[in-house]
Amino acid sequence: MTTYFDGTEGREYGHLALHTDKYQINMMYAHWKNGTHNRKAVFEAYFRKLPFGNGYAVFAGLERIVDYIRSLRFHEHEISFLQEQEERYDEAFLAELRQFRFTGNIMAVPEGTLVFPNEPLVRVEARVFEAQLVETALLNFMNYQTLIATKAARIRRAAEKDVLMEFGTRRAQEAEAAVWGARASYIAGFDATSNMRAAMLFGVPAKGTHAHAWVQAHDSEQEAFDRYAEALPDSVTLLVDTYDTLGSGVPHAINTARMLAARGKRMSAIRIDSGDLALTSKEARRQLDEAGFTDVAIVASNDLDESIIAELKAQGARIDSWGVGTQLITAADQPALGGVYKLVARETVQGGELQPVIKLSGNPEKVSTPGSKDVYRIVNRRTGKAEADYLAFPWEKNVREGQRLRLFDPTQPYRNKFVSDYEAVPLLRPVIVEGKLVEKLPTLSVIRDYHRRQLALFSPEVLRKVNPQTYPVDLSVEVWEQKMKLIEHYSPKND
């Protein structure tokens, strides 16, 4: 535990002031040199395209972001490193960094929320000196954990009600990815992890069996199984594919199950890690049932993902629990989310009004939406289902008051409809205000339950794994008109 600047306690995961890109430090320095470092700025973090061809993403990473923000300071070894850089930063600037604390505001959607492209997931309002520094780390945490939570959600839907275990640590891109990936997976519906550190830090249930090495370390497979069961009689899952899964592995496991039964114990499961999982699981189930062990579960592993699990279930595989590793923890089929952090408003004069700003691009999808915006989930009161997400300026009352709204596609504005009987659920909520945590963050179990409730808001067509229906993210008329005005203002003028 660590004590933060606001006097509260929590977990701190390391000195991360320099967990940033060099251009952030250089921009901070340039702002400081020009006397603009105390001007307020508003940045929004979002992603432009859903990963995996999915119909939604699952927001994760907020706890990591909050801990980073609350513990953010420059230590002397980091200052010393900056003194060695070719830019030769002024000592007065380094003195400013020694006093650095985040004093701004952070709004964010709750972890576990189903989210969609081009809507703010995190909004940072602070001195530009502070807001610029946190970009890299914030995106790093948000992008990775949201990506893994989304992948885990796809696997959860494919596995239906079966038990899911996260087995990815050995294939993850380093230790922190393994730990935070396990947490993100649990948010989206996994039941356990093999990673003991994740279990200790976050309260995720820990599950594990034994490796092939345990069997190889004994004179026979039967001896290996029996000795393992004698050591851990209340938690016996045996890996049966070291030599011959159906010819020796399952029969030897049945012998061990009989030994346990004679002592008043029961074997939990067998695990299959290779071969034709559909065929092998069916035959293993037959052998176990004929021996009277109908309650012994079958666990499968072996480079699984949502597509393989769905196909195995379609083939009638007799698998009760799935151990998913590499394909989940590395998000192998799309290893990056591509979230961005864009300036949407700034003070042109310190203490003045915030002015909206826009980024234009030769790629239409990269044109930013100017101004500080709130996000509302428009839920039809009659059906109880979400109809659209709606971006509006904070001062717009019509959506908060439930007035009739025009919803239109920002890419095809002529496609529109009106809604009136709805609940507007605000998604961006205050997390840090003036540098202080507003309230204690929810526990992982609370986040997990919230995620389940989120799923119930959406139609099966949006949630399906293949060719999902596009869920609309709409702009208010006022936000749309502001965007068009700034596009016109900054576009090249023809004589």
Residue 374 pLDDT greater than 70, yes or no: yes
pLDDT of residue 9: 60
Compute how many other C-beta atoms are within 10 angstroms of the C-beta atom of residue 202.
Answer: 20
| 414 has a pLDDT exceeding 90 | no
Assess whether pLDDT exceeds 90 at residue 2: no
Over range 16-28, report the average pLDDT.
97
Nearest-angstrom CA–CA distance, 219 and 413: 72
**Host domain of residue 317:** 156-329
Q: Percent of the chain at pLDDT above 90? A: 92
Q: What pLDDT does 372 receive?
A: 98
Is 135 within the bounds of a domain?
Answer: yes
Question: Whole-prediction pTM value?
Answer: 0.94
Q: Kindly report the average pLDDT of the chain as a whole number.
A: 95
Find the mean pLDDT for residues 240-269: 98
274 with 168, same domain: the answer is yes
Q: What is the CATH number of the domain that holds 120?
A: 3.20.140.10
Which one of 297, 329, 361 terminates a domain? Answer: 329
Give percent of the chain above pLDDT 70: 97
Q: Please tell me whether residues 140 and 175 are part of one structural domain.
A: no
- Final residue of a domain: which of 269, 302, 329? 329
175: CATH: 3.20.20.70
The crossing angle, in degrees rounded to 10, of helices 91-98 and 22-34 is: 110
pLDDT score of 398 more than 80 = yes
Is residue 132 within 8 Å of 24, Cβ to Cβ?
yes
> Could you tell me if residue 495 is inside a domain?
no
Residue 3: per-residue pLDDT: 57
pLDDT in tens, 130-145: 999 999 999 999 999 9
Is 144 in the same domain as 161?
no
Q: Is residue 489 part of a domain?
A: no
**pLDDT at 13 exceeding the cut of 90:** no
| Domain membership flag for residue 411 | no
Residues 248 and 129 placed together within one structural domain of the fold? no
Residue at 479 is within a domain: no
Per this entry, what is the length of the chain?
Answer: 495
Identify whether 92 is part of a domain: yes
Check whether 10 has a pLDDT greater than 80. Answer: no
Over the stretch 148-170, which tens digit does the pLDDT of each residue have?
Answer: 999 999 999 999 999 999 999 99
Question: pLDDT value at position 26?
Answer: 98
In a domain, 397, yes or no: no
Single-letter amino acid code for the residue at 83: Q
HSE, CB side, 13 Å, CA atoms: give it for residue 281.
Answer: 25
- 65 belongs to a structural domain: yes
pLDDT in tens, 191-229: 999 999 999 999 999 999 999 999 999 999 999 999 999
- Rounded Cα distance between 143 and 287, Å, is 45
Q: Are 30 and 92 in the same domain?
A: yes
Q: How many independent structural domains does the chain possess?
A: 2
- Both 141 and 114 in one domain: the answer is yes
Residue 11 has pLDDT above 60, yes or no: no
Statement: residue 412 has pLDDT above 90: no
* pLDDT band, residue 316 (cuts 50/70/90): very high
Token couple for 404: 């009739």
Res 329 pLDDT > 90: yes
Residues 6 or more apart whose Cβ sits within 8 Å of residue 12 = 2, 4, 67, 71
Please write down the long-range contacts of 24-28, taking CB distance under 8 Å and 24 or more positions apart.
Answer: 24/132, 24/133, 24/135, 24/136, 25/82, 25/89, 25/133, 26/87, 27/132, 28/129, 28/132, 28/133
Instruction: Read off the pLDDT of each residue in 2-25 and give the average, rounded to a whole number.
Output: 75
Is the domain of 131 the same as that of 165?
Answer: no
The verdict on 340 and 273 lying in the same domain is no
pLDDT band at residue 7, thresholds of 50, 70 and 90?
Answer: low
**Whether residue 132 is found in the same domain as residue 212:** no
DSSP label at residue 40: E
Average pLDDT for residues 379-402, to the nearest whole number?
96
Nearest to 411 by CA among 480, 338, 324: 480
Q: Where is the domain boundary, 329, 359, 390? A: 329
- 138 and 250 in a single domain? The answer is no
Contact 72, 402 (CB under 8 A): no
368 and 435 belong to one structural domain: yes
**140, 174 Cβ separation under 8 angstroms:** no
434-487 pLDDT per residue, tens: 999 999 999 999 999 999 999 999 999 999 999 999 999 999 999 999 999 999
Q: Do 322 and 344 belong together in one domain?
A: no
